[in-house]
Chain A
Amino acid sequence: AQSVTQLGSHVSVSEGALVLLRCNYSSSVPPYLFWYVQYPNQGLQLLLKYTTGATLVKGINGFEAEFKKSETSFHLTKPSAHMSDAAEYFCAVSEATGGFKTIFGAGTRLFVKA
């Protein structure tokens, strides 16, 4: 069965500092992996996805994530945080073989200090 663990329900960084949000997944087959961002009272917006191919995936707003199969991880990074990055971030996994269901992690709230 698929599962997602996001390490740290809250992360606080200073503006301009590195953002690192951690995600580990469990899947019995090759996974598809996603990061979504959610602003208050809104739905989720896709930041980036990994399906196959290059393990370093670039997304919108300067975010990127690296798929590491040996570590079953898909951590999200951004070199320099901006105030507008403050939001809730969700890591998600779905399976590649006939799967449609996407399982979401519990989320990490990112705070950005001026």
Chain B
Amino acid sequence: DTGVSQDPRHKITKRGQNVTFRCDPISEHNRLYWYRQTLGQGPEFLTYFQNEAQLEKSRLLSDRFSAERPKGSFSTLEIQRTEQGDSAMYLCASSKSSGTGGGQPQHFGDGTRLSIL
């Protein structure tokens, strides 16, 4: 168990630029989640994959955001035309699936901190 890995750890970019983050989940985990965390808040759910299928997207995820998990392994989160309000920590988590959903704890990466100048 090498843990969930996220790259880069920090990203500074100018407003209007596109950014892409990568997440490598724990290898035997088939569920992968993206969250956004702002200062003083808990993680907010963005989207979720089971294997390569993206099963739900939060209303927080505007059309500038897109996530992929092409082969059911690593995932990317892209933000196009970044805005000041996109500054946050983006967390990736993975878990095993369980028969009734919800019961498996999520294992988190250390996040990518995005700063928009």
Q: In the bound complex, do residue A96 and residue B101 qualify as a contact, i.e. CB atoms below 8 Å apart?
A: yes
Report how many residues on chain B are interfacial, defined by Cβ distance under 8 Å. Answer: 29
**Complex: chain A residue closest to B100, CB-CB:** A96
Contact of A99 among B43, B102, B105, B109 (CB under 8 A): B102
B110 within 8 A of A: yes
Contacts of B91 in A (CB 8 A): 43-44
Most A-side CB within 10 Å, residue of B44, B105, B106, B108: B105
B26 within 8 A of A: no
Q: In the bound complex, do residue A43 and residue B48 qualify as a contact, i.e. CB atoms below 8 Å apart?
A: no
B: residues with CB less than 8 A from A are 4, 6, 31, 33, 35, 40-45, 48, 50, 55-56, 91, 93, 100-103, 105-111, 113
A: residues with CB less than 8 A from B are 4, 9, 32, 34, 36, 41-46, 49, 51, 90, 92, 94-107
